[in-house]
């Protein structure tokens, strides 16, 4: 006997955002990447459309990281001092869909690189790879406000995904994205109301950015509040599908940075014999964090370890198979 399956009907869907620009579109990318567009909860193909698969970026710095785990150095240590070669390795050897370039050298407490030096690093990475590029500041707002306009102008036409913008620091980066037609990452501290308010303030500056916003609601690593972050992202996705336009944007999560500062990814088996071998444990910590967030609606994951990326991409392949009935 046939059984009727109850299916949820949603009144709205997530907006689509195109990252990168080809030569015909004024950039130099070999292809563009579209994220978002879902009309249902994650991977429920039987209830609605999931037109674009989630994508995975690997993180690259414009300087050699001094505090990264040796586990990562086994894969990238030979290119740490060359962000262009590092980016190329991420794409050609490890299969990253995008490169997420962090301009860490701009940090006044580190190299204090000038905006022009940061722009040069961005241009070198753009020349080295043909995938769309995410560019993130040093994390020091005062300096980043000087860097964003120069970087955005140097890469005009490339349709970068530039971030992050927060409640205290959104005007400079929003203006840079407006003037040079880049996408923007508004970041909120695990709070739906702040997320919405920040999107409103950005769109008050320019409605042209309406289809160029990829929100970062802030993620936590497995064991460090992942349940709370997950629930906020899930609530945001439900709100978007019910018609809240200020939440109906694709979502990015900085998975790698959160996971690799956790003790579970770094403490040796000598210090914690019951935890198992640290190399495999760290990889699985990043993998499990990533696959959990895929189920909450994450569209773009920024990761660090190539093996974790490989496993997550296989998981995405499985999740994108049609389960309609």
pLDDT at 324: 74
Whole-prediction pTM: 0.96
pLDDT at 2: 61
pLDDT at 233: 96
Instruction: Show the low-confidence residues of the chain (pLDDT under 50).
Output: none
Provide the sign of the torsion angle of the four alpha carbons 181, 113, 89, 97, taken in this order.
negative
pLDDT at 278: 95
* All structural domains of the chain with their residue ranges: 16-319
Residues with Cβ within 8 Å of 235's Cβ and at least 6 positions away in sequence, in order, are 192
DSSP H helical segments within the chain, as ranges?
A: 70-76, 83-92, 115-128, 141-154, 170-180, 192-205, 226-241, 255-259, 278-294, 306-319
pLDDT in tens, 269-297: 999 999 999 999 999 999 999 999 999 99
Domain 16-319 falls under CATH 3.40.720.10? no
pLDDT at 3: 65
pLDDT in tens, 153-197: 999 999 999 999 999 999 999 999 999 999 999 999 999 999 999
């Amino acid at each position: 006997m046939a059984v009727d399956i109850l299916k949820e009907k949603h009144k709205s869907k997530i907006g689509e955002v195109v990252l990168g620009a080809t030569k015909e579109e004024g950039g130099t990318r070999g292809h563009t990447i579209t994220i978002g567009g879902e009309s249902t909860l994650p991977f429920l193909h039987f209830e609605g459309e999931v037109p674009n698969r989630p994508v995975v970026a690997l993180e690259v710095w414009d300087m050699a990281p001094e505090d990264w785990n040796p586990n990562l150095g086994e894969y990238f240590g030979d290119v740490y001092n060359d962000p262009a070669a590092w980016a190329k390795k991420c794409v050609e050897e490890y299969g990253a869909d995008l490169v997420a370039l962090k301009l860490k050298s701009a940090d006044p407490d580190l190299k204090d690189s000038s905006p022009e030096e940061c722009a040069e690093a961005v241009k070198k990475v753009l020349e080295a790879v043909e995938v769309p590029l995410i560019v993130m500041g040093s994390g020091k707002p005062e300096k980043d406000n000087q860097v964003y306009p120069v970087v955005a102008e140097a890469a005009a036409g490339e349709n970068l995904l530039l971030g992050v913008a927060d409640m205290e620091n959104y005007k400079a980066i929003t203006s840079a994205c407006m003037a040079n037609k880049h996408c923007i990452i508004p970041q909120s501290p695990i709070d739906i109301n702040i997320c919405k308010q920040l999107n409103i303030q950005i769109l008050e500056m320019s409605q042209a950015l309406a289809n160029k916003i990829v929100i970062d609601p802030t993620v936590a690593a497995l064991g460090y509040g992942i349940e709370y972050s997950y629930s906020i992202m899930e609530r945001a996705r439900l709100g978007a599908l019910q018609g809240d336009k200020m939440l109906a944007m694709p979502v990015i999560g900085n998975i790698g940075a959160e996971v690799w500062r956790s003790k579970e990814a770094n403490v040796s088996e000598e210090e914690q014999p019951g935890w198992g071998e640290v190399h495999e444990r760290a990889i699985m910590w990043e993998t499990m964090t990533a696959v959990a967030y895929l189920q909450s609606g994450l569209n773009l994951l920024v990761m660090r370890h190539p093996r974790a990326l490989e496993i997550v991409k296989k998981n995405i392949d499985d999740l994108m198979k049609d389960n309609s009935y």
